[in-house]
Amino acid sequence: MSSKSTITIRAILTIEEMLPHLPLIRQLTPNLSLERYKELLDLMVPHNYSQVAAYEGEECVGVSGYWIAAKLYCGKYIEVDNFVVDEKYRSKGVGKMLLDWMLEEGKRRGCDVAMLDAYVQNFRGHAFYYRQGFIGEGVHYVKELSIT
């Protein structure tokens, strides 16, 4: 990112707009195929899933999904999901711009809290989220289910 470059943040609301972000999403989820990405978006978008993206010119340099929903323990929330900044743009403020946009969107939409998950081994991500005021409040458990 040069000193003259400008990053713009845009809400991404349709599946057609989300599909071109697959190469960036693959930096976080390398084995995700285009077919599976589309299949999952078809399931997610009707349930309040959207994306926000950071662009330098026409190049997408950061993207994150987010959900608006509610849980009994916390009320209405915005959940940051699949947050990824292109490796060349990390530590340059792009992630903070994306996260700030989502936090403001959560406030605009009447959310009580913001939440997210981060992979255990993502130490840089953990440090970033702590700097942004997030606290570790629980443990996310996963169990694979066989489809038969």
Domains of the chain by start residue, with CATH: 7-131 (3.40.630.30)
- Each residue's pLDDT, cut to its tens digit, for the chain (148 residues) gives 544 569 999 999 999 999 999 999 999 999 999 999 999 999 999 999 999 999 999 999 999 999 999 999 999 999 999 999 999 999 999 999 999 999 999 999 999 999 999 888 888 889 999 999 999 988 888 889 987 6
- Residue 50 has a CB neighbour count (10 Å cut-off) of 21
H/E stretch holding 140: none
Q: How far apart are CA 9 and CA 91, in angstroms?
A: 17
* pLDDT given for residue 142 in this prediction: 87
Tokens coding 88: 């060349």
Backbone φ and ψ of 27, nearest 5°? -65, -25
In order of 50, 86, 92, the CA distances from 89 in angstroms are 22, 5, 6
